[in-house]
Amino acid sequence: MEKRLTLLLAVFALFLAVSFINLFFFPPAGQKSHWYVSIPPKRGSILDAKGRKIAYDSPVYVAYLDVEFFKRQHGSKSALERTLKACGIEKDPEEVLKYRFYRLTEAEDKESVLKRLDPDILPFVSLEVEYRRKKFQDYSTGVLIGAVLNGQGKGGVEGFFDDALKGKRKGTLEFLYKGARLSPVLTDYVLPEDGQDVHLSIDLDLQRHVYRIISDAVKEFSAEAGHAIVMESKTGKILSMVTTRDWNDLIGGYIEPGSTIKPVVYAIALETKSASPSFSVECEGMIKPVENLNIIIRDIEEHGKVDFLTGIVKSCNVMSVRVGDLIVRHIGVEGFYEWLKKAGFGEKTGMEMEGEIDGVLRNPKEWSLIDPAEISIGQGIGVTPVQLVAFLNVFANGGYWIKPSILKESPVQKRKVFSETTAETIKKAMIEVVEEGTGKLAQVRGLEIAGKTGTAQKAVGGKYQNLYHSLFVGFFPADDPKYTIMVHLDSPSEAFYGGDVAAPVFRKIVELLTEKEKKKITLIRGLMPDLVGLPVRDALLVLEELGIEDVELKDKGWMVSDQTPPPDHPLEGKVVLILGNQK
């Protein structure tokens, strides 16, 4: 408490200096004068998995002109005119004097405020300490965090945790100015009650790497946008969540899942005994699901005779349509709908971010005759990226759906969807997808990976166009899953199949997570780390983690080419980073 009081006194030192000027020029009638300083509460910080600040309140000093006091005491209009000019205010004094209080300037440091205020104006200035919200914007992190508008959290983490983050109660410092020099003496205080901090499971280092992988893929395939989610399979904790868009479509936008839905549809068929693993079909490359409707669903090729699980491995639409038909014949469209809801479709995941939507799963009363067939291949149904990673994570957890969470410390919430036997059966097929099927480009040497490709044609204005969602969702190691990863590229050009576009991106993220030779920065308190070769933003994050604030950047460039002090030297005084575009 004493340490915090000392910090508050340092922050409010300028206020005390200005109040002294007021007392000096306009002394009170009595011998004693009490002065009260109101201390606004801080909004809680949002921290990453390693305790680094992603969003936080930073104090600013705000100078207000007490217009009524200025007029009563016949303040100098020429001094006011000089002050307005120094503050960059393009108004004449007469216009300013129409207000009761007028905001003159603000700055993060006391010296900048004082430089803009004419000495003859100081007796009429009221100083306030206010907080401005700052946040780390890079690598789509700012999109996840949300915003604070007029003290209210809006969207993302800020919106969801607004009540917890919001400052609770103002504090007060009481001073007694006495003696010939009017020296301030602290006589009483009430500390403000700040908001609570929120610790996220997001790792900024991983976020940076995943964002670059997705951004590179968007450029390579000339896609409209890209998305990736990295989640701990067993806990549901989100370690990285990336979108290349400037809004949070990871929870607030939906896509048709395409063939990534097939493991769920096949699992429903097994669980309800609508079909068995021995069921097979002859795939001629197309199927007419409803006899009296002129609608044909096609495959990319004729698969010939296909057994039940090979339908997943080869992503056979003909088999999937037949499986959907067997489900409806056995449990009806209402039963099919309820099982989809149970698996996580049409329901918010409950992840701790404001703005999450339900996705799209229409009431079965609104289904047409073709809907069961289209839903079975992932059309006519909409999921958010976070829903997508959550429902396929079921097969990494023996049939349990795990609630995704963005919190570092949160209890695991799960519910049973499929039996362990069904989940293991589908998982074996998903392993075959990567080893022998449509997901071969997701393979990583020495790792057994389970996954599913997806290619969903996009509907624009209610009509399907030659635009596609390219998808891959998988988990590894398959026998004891640690990570579940979702990759999505929106409308890639030329290549568009999920196995050709999204699977290789998935592989890069897996390699990132498993790479043993990746350069690791050793952080030792008091010693300078080796920052050469790092992007400037990353170098500053490392120094922030070490508590280093006095940093000077020299020259221009996007990465650190040299540094002072050298690596492993004592951290004493200013750190200088020389910038360049190569080491």
Give pLDDT, residue 5.
58
- Asked if residue 486 and residue 544 are part of one domain, the reply reads no
Average pLDDT over residues 302-329: 94
The pLDDT tens digits of the residues spanning 516-568 come to 434 566 677 788 888 887 878 778 888 888 888 899 999 888 788 889 998 88
pLDDT category of residue 240 using cuts at 50, 70 and 90? very high
Higher pLDDT, 8 or 310: 310
Q: What is the CATH number for 423?
A: 3.40.710.10
From residue 5, how far is each of 126, 171, 191 by CA, in Å? Answer: 22, 11, 8
Distance CA 25, CA 107 (A): 25
- Confirm whether 240 is domain-assigned: yes
Asked if residue 424 and residue 327 are part of one domain, the reply reads yes
Peptide bond into 477 cis (omega under 30): yes
> Span 146-170, mean pLDDT?
95
- Same domain for 575 and 481: no
What whole-number percentage of the chain has pLDDT above 70?
Answer: 90
Q: How many CB atoms are closer than 10 A to CB 282?
A: 11
At 520 the pLDDT is 60
Q: Is the pLDDT of residue 9 over 70?
A: no
Q: Please indicate, yes or no, whether residues 224 and 269 belong to a single structural domain of this protein.
A: yes
* Predicted model pTM: 0.82
Same domain, 424 and 531: no
**Residues 302, 238 share a domain:** yes
d(CA 81, CA 13): 26
Residue 558: CB partners within 8 Å, gap ≥ 6?
Answer: 535, 536, 579, 581
Q: What is the CATH number of the domain that holds 575?
A: 3.30.10.20
Indicate the residue among 199, 224, 254 that finishes a domain. Answer: 199
Q: How confident is the model at residue 294 (pLDDT cuts 50, 70, 90)?
A: confident
pLDDT, average across residues 241-266: 96
Lowest mean pLDDT among 25-29, 197-201, 344-348: 25-29
Asked whether residue 27 is assigned to any structural domain, the reply reads no
* Count of domains observed in the chain: 3
Residue 180 has pLDDT above 70, yes or no: no
- Structure tokens belonging to residue 380: 């006519």
Could you give the CA distance from residue 550 to residue 221 in angstroms, rounded to a whole number? 42
- Candidate from 5-19, 49-63, 156-170, 231-245 with smallest mean pLDDT: 5-19
E strands present in 310-396: none
478 domain-assigned: yes
Q: Which residues, 6+ apart, have CB-to-CB distance to 446 below 8 Å?
A: none
Tell me, yes or no, whether 5 lies in a domain: no
Mark whether 57 and 180 lie in a shared domain: yes
Whether 10 is covered by a domain: the verdict is: no
Q: How many angstroms separate the CA atoms of 436 and 429, rounded?
A: 10
| pLDDT at residue 178, rounded to an integer | 58
In-domain check, residue 213: yes
Predicted confidence at residue 23, as pLDDT, reads: 43
- Would you call the peptide bond into 565 cis, given omega within 30 degrees of 0 as the criterion? yes
Task: Answer yes or no: do 484 and 568 share one domain.
Answer: no
* pLDDT for the residue 549: 86
User: Which domain, by its residues, includes 101?
Assistant: 32-199
Instruction: Name the nearest CA neighbour of 476 among 520, 437, 522, 511.
Output: 511
Torsion of CA 303, 305, 306, 307, to 10 degrees: -170
Residue range 168-180: average pLDDT? 74
Q: Are residues 174 and 287 in the same domain?
A: no
Per-residue confidence at 21, pLDDT binned at 50, 70, 90?
very low
User: Is 125 inside any structural domain?
Assistant: yes
Residue 129 has pLDDT above 90, yes or no: no
Asked if residue 17 is part of any domain, the answer here is: no
Report the distance separating Cα 303 and Cα 285, nearest Å: 7
Residue 322 shares a structural domain with residue 461:
yes
Residues 219 and 324 in one domain: yes
Instruction: Label residue 25 by pLDDT band (50, 70, 90).
Output: very low
Last residue of a domain, one of 516, 544, 572: 516
Instruction: Judge if 368 and 411 occupy the same domain.
Output: yes
What's 103's domain CATH number? 3.90.1310.10
pLDDT of residue 299: 86
* Strand segments (E) across 76-224: 101-107, 125-135, 147-149, 152-154, 171-178, 183-190, 198-199
The mean pLDDT of 303-331, rounded to a whole number, is 94
pLDDT at 423: 97
The CA-based angle 40-45-46, given to 5 degrees, is 155
453-478 average pLDDT score = 87
Please compute the mean of the pLDDT values over residues 468-474 and round it to a whole number. 96
Model confidence pLDDT, tens digit, residues 35-94: 677 788 999 999 999 999 999 999 898 999 999 989 988 899 999 999 999 999 999 999
Q: What is the pLDDT of residue 354?
A: 97
Residue 8 has pLDDT above 60, yes or no: no
How far is Cα 432 from Cα 317, in angstroms, rounded to an integer? Answer: 17
193 pLDDT above the threshold of 50 = yes
Stronger pLDDT, 64 or 25, i.e. the higher one: 64
Q: Could you tell me which of 520, 466, 534, 459 has the C-alpha nearest to residue 494?
A: 466
Query: Pick the residue with more confidence: 114 or 334?
Result: 334
**% of the chain at pLDDT higher than 90:** 66
Domain end residue (candidates: 490, 516, 542): 516
* Residue 425's pLDDT band (cuts 50, 70, 90): very high
